[in-house]
Amino acid sequence: LDEELARYASLNLVGEIAASIGHEVRNPMSTVRGYLQLFQRKKQFADYHEDLGIMIEELDRANTIITEFLSLAKNKSFDLIATDLQAVINTIFPLIQADAFRLGHNIQVKLEPIPLVMLDEREIRQLILNLVRNAFEAMEQNGMVCIKTYMCKNETILEVSDTGKGIPPEIQNKLGTPFFTTKENGTGLGLAVCYRIAQRHNAAISAMSGKTGTSFLIKFPNNMKIDE
Ligand code: ADP
Ligand code: MG
């Protein structure tokens, strides 16, 4: 429990920092990006075309980090509305399917009937996308990702599972900690964002993992009265 409190405290701090400096850092970055693109089109910089491309990619990477940072921001506007979660999943399914196809993976959706859930659609979309992205990244070719909704003991569950390499027990308590990553090019912010989003929905998020893969479970409260 202490660990959980510490994680939430650090999430709040990260969120505040993100909110205050994120925008200020982005503006000069987009100016620089604009110049780099301009140089790319100039004949006298033809020799540097590739280097300029790398510079733009790196700027975009930094920008992604800021975007994820900003979505940790505490005071971002946020609306819980009684929503059909299955419809939300169906909306983003084509996007996920296209990614699966591109990466040589498979995707399955098993949606059992569930009641309306109090949720912020944009945030839940992002949560699902972050979990699915991690799932794809954890699998060798031809893996399977499954998105499910179902009821369990009167709770509404959203589950994202994969047939990937699993999460070693010794790092399971680090999940959701900002900047924790085991990937060479990881930001370590995807799960932090998920944990934050779950927290804002008063939902519990947990991971179960073994040699056959990983499942992330989001348990939404069945109590419709939610105060932030
Ligand atoms: P990133 O994807 O940038 O590394 P995340 O916060 O999304 O950052 O994930 C943090 C770490 O959690 C990953 O680096 C990985 O070690 C682990 N992880 C998350 N999801 C999975 C998964 N489905 N299977 C295996 N490991 C995972
Ligand atoms: Mg990730």
Reduced 3-state DSSP string for the chain = CHHHHHHHHHHHHHHHHHHHHHHHHHHHHHHHHHHHHHHHCCHHHHHHHHHHHHHHHHHHHHHHHHHHHHCCCCCCCCCCEEECHHHHHHHHHHHHHHHHHHHCCEEEEEECCCCCEEECHHHHHHHHHHHHHHHHHCCCCCCEEEEEEEEECCEEEEEEEECCCCCCHHHHCCCCCCCCCCCCCCCCCHHHHHHHHHHHCCCEEEEEEECCEEEEEEEECCCCCCCC
Residues less than 5 Å from ion ligand 2, measured at CB: 134, 190
Considering the chain, what percentage of its residues have pLDDT values greater than 70? 94
Residues with CB under 6 A from ligand 1: 134-135, 138, 162, 164-165, 167, 175, 180-183, 186-192, 214
Q: What is the pTM of this model?
A: 0.81
Q: Among residues of the chain, what percentage have pLDDT more than 90? A: 69
The model's pLDDT over 71-122, given as tens digits with 9 standing for 90+, comes to 766 666 788 999 999 999 999 999 999 999 999 999 999 999 999 999 999 8
pLDDT at 185: 81
Statement: residue 216 has pLDDT above 70: yes
Condensed to tens digits (0 to 9), the pLDDT of residues 128-138 reads 999 999 999 99
